[in-house]
Amino acid sequence: MSLYADEIIRFSSVLKMSYNLIAGREELKRLKLREKKHLISVALPFSDLIYGFPNLVPVFPIRMHVFKISKYLSLLGSSASLFGWDNVSKFLGYVKNMGINEVNKVIDQIIDDVIETLNEKYNEMFDIGVERGISSDFCFALKTLVGMYVTKSKNVSANMNYSIRCSAWNKYLESLKAIDGNVKQIWLDIPPRNIGNALELLIENLSDVIHQLETLSGNSYNQNIMRDHFKVANQIKQDYKTILYDIGTSDFYPCNPATFSEVLALLSISFQDYNSNAKRYAENIHQMVNEMRERIRKGIGMDVSEMPKVLVTPMFGGWEPQTHEIIYELGGRALYADWDVLRFLDEVPISNTTNPIEAYAKFLLNITENGVGCDNNTLTNSYIRVAEKTKVDGVVFNQLFGCHSISNCFTLLKEKTRKDLEIPAIALTFNRIGENLEQVKTRLGAFMEMLT
């Protein structure tokens, strides 16, 4: 897969983000043991409230694991702390250009292994979740989350639990106490619909969560810190949407389209906890936009105008990561846009005078009504909205084994894509990474023939 490595090393922002995602363990250890900060486990993009307290650190638990390439990435990280990421990236590009095979192989391996090593770890977590006795009816996401929790709960002080529409998700959250009774479970109940006094109720629930976080952190809640964080989060969302909609829909990409999909996959995973440092993440993603624009401006990249675009969704709960590579080999390009389908990329309506908790409550009610918590009809409309915005030529729907909620609207979606957008849609089934590869290739082959 040196195809990606060749390009990724020239994006210092992507290198940096990959490093922070995969080699975060040492940093998290330092934050916990030396700086005495509390790690708080989060899943789905529900980390925002934690950023209201500087001595609390949100973490998507898989990032506490050792990955087999951590040591190589750590070397890159050490070089970067001396010379800066831009110089490391330039240096790697220079070395690649020299064409020394052995060195090239090592560089390729470091980069290729970022996504591959993550996938291996996901499968390992899946197996641990199954061994732990989680119902076989649960989806890939929940099995892996149980695996992450079983292996890493000892490092966290609390787990942040947002209840959403999916009953399996809520059952999973309820089961966490039995796995590790020492970890504090902090619950945020989101009223199901924006009716009656839902906003007041949610503000009350949020205030209660804030109070629990205050107790944990030993510090008082400070409106200004929370407000500043939401502003940072909104900047991240703007840049994310720029990459997805401005660059992702253009006719000229700053890199190979399979690399571009890989970057979208990286964003999708890391967006959940902003790699435990929202300000750094905001800088990285902004730099990513600039680097992409600069390459486009210089004509470095690839003309993709003849390559049909395919929206592959949902993938946040587990998907076959080779999908975008297969689509690329078949002449197309894949886009991943789950967080916008689920409305997590909508901004928190914050200003210098608004109450941050009230603003966040409005944001959560919006995603509940129109995104992650909404009914199948509304959710289908959200898939259609994103398919329309990304101007895709087809939709590949990822049906997760065991998901009776979010990935359960294929029939409706297929009907609407045909009628409203006049584009085709197919469903692929998914249980575990690598399990169904041949079928995925065959189904995508037939599908792409319709588009090319």
Interface ranges with ligand SF4 (CB under 6 A) = 139, 141-142, 166, 168-169, 317, 400, 403, 405-407
Measured CA to CA, the distance from residue 20 to residue 63 in angstroms comes to: 9
Considering beta carbons, is residue 263 or 342 the nearer one to ligand SF4? 342
419, amino acid identity: K
- Minimum gap (Å) between residue 372 Cβ and ligand SF4: 8
- Minimum gap (Å) between residue 417 Cβ and ligand SF4: 20
Considering beta carbons, is residue 168 or 225 the nearer one to ligand SF4? 168
| 193 φ, ψ (degrees, to nearest 5) | -135, 155
Task: Spell out where 97-209 has E strands.
Answer: 158-162, 184-188
375 DSSP assignment: -
- Minimum gap (Å) between residue 45 Cβ and ligand SF4: 13
How many CB atoms neighbour CB 294 within 10 A? 11
Q: Per the structure block, which two tokens stand in for 280?
A: 């750094």
How many CB atoms neighbour CB 81 within 10 A? 10
- Minimum gap (Å) between residue 314 Cβ and ligand SF4: 7
242 DSSP assignment: I
Please say whether the beta carbons of 165 and 372 come within 8 A: yes
- Minimum gap (Å) between residue 360 Cβ and ligand SF4: 22
Measured CA to CA, the distance from residue 234 to residue 241 in angstroms comes to: 11
- Minimum gap (Å) between residue 161 Cβ and ligand SF4: 13
- Minimum gap (Å) between residue 367 Cβ and ligand SF4: 13
- Minimum gap (Å) between residue 62 Cβ and ligand SF4: 15
Please say whether the beta carbons of 145 and 122 come within 8 A: no
Q: Per the structure block, which two tokens stand in for 116?
A: 């591959």
Measured CA to CA, the distance from residue 18 to residue 2 in angstroms comes to: 16
Q: Per the structure block, which two tokens stand in for 450?
A: 């319709």
Considering beta carbons, is residue 91 or 401 the nearer one to ligand SF4? 401
Considering beta carbons, is residue 215 or 378 the nearer one to ligand SF4? 378
Considering beta carbons, is residue 44 or 345 the nearer one to ligand SF4? 44
- Minimum gap (Å) between residue 400 Cβ and ligand SF4: 5
Measured CA to CA, the distance from residue 321 to residue 121 in angstroms comes to: 13
Considering beta carbons, is residue 172 or 274 the nearer one to ligand SF4? 172
Measured CA to CA, the distance from residue 392 to residue 389 in angstroms comes to: 8
Considering beta carbons, is residue 64 or 142 the nearer one to ligand SF4? 142
Handedness of CA 163, 165, 171, 173 (dihedral sign): negative
360-380 core/surface letters (b: 16 or more CB in 10 A; e: else): bbbbbbbbbbbbbbbebeebb
Considering beta carbons, is residue 301 or 318 the nearer one to ligand SF4? 318
Kindly tell me the burial class for residue 195, based on how many C-beta atoms sit within 10 Å of its own C-beta (0-12, 13-18, 19 or more): exposed
Considering beta carbons, is residue 2 or 381 the nearer one to ligand SF4? 381
How many CB atoms neighbour CB 401 within 10 A? 17
**H-type alpha helices, 136-186:** 140-152, 167-179
| 315 φ, ψ (degrees, to nearest 5) | -130, -10
- Minimum gap (Å) between residue 380 Cβ and ligand SF4: 14
Q: Cis peptide leading into 54, omega within 30 of 0?
A: no
Considering beta carbons, is residue 62 or 111 the nearer one to ligand SF4? 62
Considering beta carbons, is residue 145 or 255 the nearer one to ligand SF4? 145
Q: How many residues are listed for the chain in this entry?
A: 452
Q: For tokens 């993009």, name the residue.
A: 45
- Minimum gap (Å) between residue 164 Cβ and ligand SF4: 8
- Minimum gap (Å) between residue 195 Cβ and ligand SF4: 22
Which is it for strands 56-59 and 38-41: parallel, antiparallel or unpaired?
Answer: parallel
Considering beta carbons, is residue 136 or 197 the nearer one to ligand SF4? 136
